[in-house]
A and B are shown apart, each in its own frame.
Chain A
Amino acid sequence: MIGAPEGLWATARSSHDPWRPAERRRERPERRRERPERRRERPERRRVASGVQTGRRRYHRNVADTPELQAPLIHARGLTKCFGTFTAVDGIDFDVAPGEAFGFLGPNGAGKTSTMRMIGTVSPVTSGELTVFGLDPARDGARIRARLGVVPQADTLDNELSVLENLLIYGRYFGLSWSESRRRAKELLEFVQLTERSNDKVEPLSGGMKRRLVIARSLINEPSLLLLDEPTTGLDPQARHLLWDRLYRLKQRGVTLCLTTHYMDEAEQLCDRLVVMDQAKIVAEGSPRQLIDKYVTKEVLELRFNRADNETDDSAHLGNRLEGLAERVEQLPDRVLAYTADGEAASAKAHERGLRPASVLVRRSSLEDVFLRLTGRSLVE
């Protein structure tokens, strides 16, 4: 079976384990170089990841041949969560396949965390259908949790214990023996680069270290599904990249990832497929590339104007002068965004029409543009 903890993690402990310090040192520079390519390879990688894993290798099989393997790890239909009269999650449908990295993208208050908590069996479903590993969270909560790793939004580390003890006792909660728990804890501290801090208290650790420790803790039971609620919120770029790297490696080892984020780059980096949530509903679904293709143009031309240079142009006028120049023009207080297939050409045309922006930027459109298109620019809180 896919994601069967034994087989999955057994491979990680083999002598060819990329985790191992000696080999890791050798591999690291290579991996860095690979990074930029990774995105381009995404569609392929996804196919591989959803294949069958046997020993160290994964074989891709035709979906139709092995329907039982394609049974979704998470299956939700009409999933709804209400708190009193407030509807936090409003009848959403989604499936997460084994081996997939699935993301919930949305502004604060969109219902992402509520959804994650329902999957994690710590929040009762109000109505609708939800199964995790094919089990019912209301009835088989403990069995689901035994195979689940959870990284909650707020760090819930045990501040009265040391870094190592946090992992040790957490392993015990999952029924591991002390020695097995210790073995895994040491391995995981190595994995998240916290070995030197093993005996320190948790309190003085930096935000990034705490986050890494929570991730290590979530892996102590060798979960086949990892739930991450805003795993990198509030972290500095170095810490975020280290975390992404670790999550990417987990995914490569066949761990299914299910995460929420409001960082577009994070969603683009990590997710094979994602849903955009807004006001308790799913408003779009697809791979990052599909969403960009569907909701925005290939490129975005950003024209920035200094107010003083355009005193004669009132904002509406400026927008009008760009009319027909791009598929869609969005006017912001000091900028105009033109969504177009060819940013350079649009820029030249704007120049012809006598526009003299203070700065011009042509960029590839990103998930952020999709996100803002779908959820709007105003704060929804």
Chain B
Amino acid sequence: MLAVRISPPRILSRPALIVQRNMLVYRHSSMVIISGFFEPLFYLFSMGFGVGSLIGNVSLGNGTSVSYAVFVAPALLASAAMNGAIYETSNNFFYKLKYAKLYDAIISTPMSLTDVARGEVMWALLRGSLYAIGFLAVIAILGLAGTGLMSSPLGLLAFPASMIVGYGFAGAGLAATTFVRKWRDFDYLQLAIMPMFLFSGTFYPIDAYPPALQVFVQCTPLYRGVHLIRALTTGTPDPVLLIDVVYLLAMGTIGLAITSRRLGKLLLS
């Protein structure tokens, strides 16, 4: 879906080779992949149902109010998409770039650095999509069981939406990593990711903030992702969704462009 959007499949055939390379690596260590599937589920059960049992309904701001689990589940999906994309494009990408010297070998083939950047984003999305499907499946099952977790068929669109969130963060993550010099620099990245995870309307509505701060939070990418996915799973779409989508796609695409350029500077000297 996303692949079709970026460019015709023919142009994606070379980036797909990066995905194939990564699949070869993970072929023997699939447990590492599977472990990522549980994290958002654990959050859902502890926060959504655990903490949620202490909290009453939460207002969505448009007149509807939902149970806390219903409120927090889409945010967890968006956060998982962000974390998956960031993890893959920060530490893993940095290792391949600086230590494994993977791309130093690839630049001697017909592959271009744009192919490399696109390939790593594709891989991050592929990995993220496994988690998204798993998480959505659990939500759907619980929804059928009467928890109201997925009250609208629109909820199925949460899957492509989580891919869009992943794309935005993967592109930005790659771009950020090309500026990293040593492992410790990733602490700064965490300094951006952690507050976003906690304060972007993930665990409570942003009405809690003073208006100026609300505007600031609304400008952060994770807020856009949470807003997008929550509107779909709760069946309350509004025109602002378009802004969410454009914002995240632009972030990913600009990130990719920066990455290609930076890789050229780093590798082609």
Contacts and interface: CB of A to CB of B under 8 A. Distances in A.
Interface of A: 83, 120, 122-124, 142-143, 145-146, 148, 150, 152, 154, 156-161, 165, 168-170, 172-175, 217, 221
Nearest to A162: B24
Among B100, B107, B111, B268, residue most surrounded by chain A Cβ atoms (within 10 Å): B107
B109 interface: yes
Contacts of B105: 152, 156-158, 170, 217
B267 A174 contact: no
B100 A158 contact: yes
B190 interface: no
A294 to B, nearest CB: 35
A122 B267 contact: yes
A107 B21 CA distance: 37
A83 B109 contact: no
A123 B269 contact: yes
Interface in B252-269: 267-269
Interface residues of B, number: 20
A123 B268 CA distance: 5
A156 B104 contact: yes
B190 to A, nearest CB: 25
B192 interface: no
B110 A159 contact: no
B176 interface: no
8 contacts: A122-B108, A122-B268, A123-B268, A142-B112, A146-B110, A158-B105, A172-B17, A173-B17
Contacts of B109: 145-146, 170, 173-174, 221
Interface string B8-29: 0000000001001100110000
Nearest to A169: B21
B102 interface: yes
Given A122-B268, A160-B25, A175 B108 contact: no
Contacts of B100: 158-160
A168 B25 CA distance: 13
Nearest to A117: B269
Contacts of B104: 152, 156
Contacts of B101: 154, 156
A188 B269 CA distance: 31
A170 B108 CA distance: 10
The 10 lowest CB-CB distance pairs between A and B, nearest first, are A173-B109, A156-B105, A150-B108, A142-B110, A160-B25, A156-B104, A146-B110, A156-B101, A169-B21, A122-B107
B106 interface: yes
Nearest to B268: A122
A59 B162 CA distance: 63
Contacts of B24: 161, 165, 168-169
Given A156-B101, A157-B105, A160-B25, A175 B267 contact: no
B21 A152 contact: no
A153 to B, nearest CB: 11
A170 B102 CA distance: 11
A152 B269 contact: no
Contact of A173 (B25, B106, B267, B269): B106
Interface in B170-217: none
Given A122-B267, A123-B269, A124-B268, A158 B108 contact: no
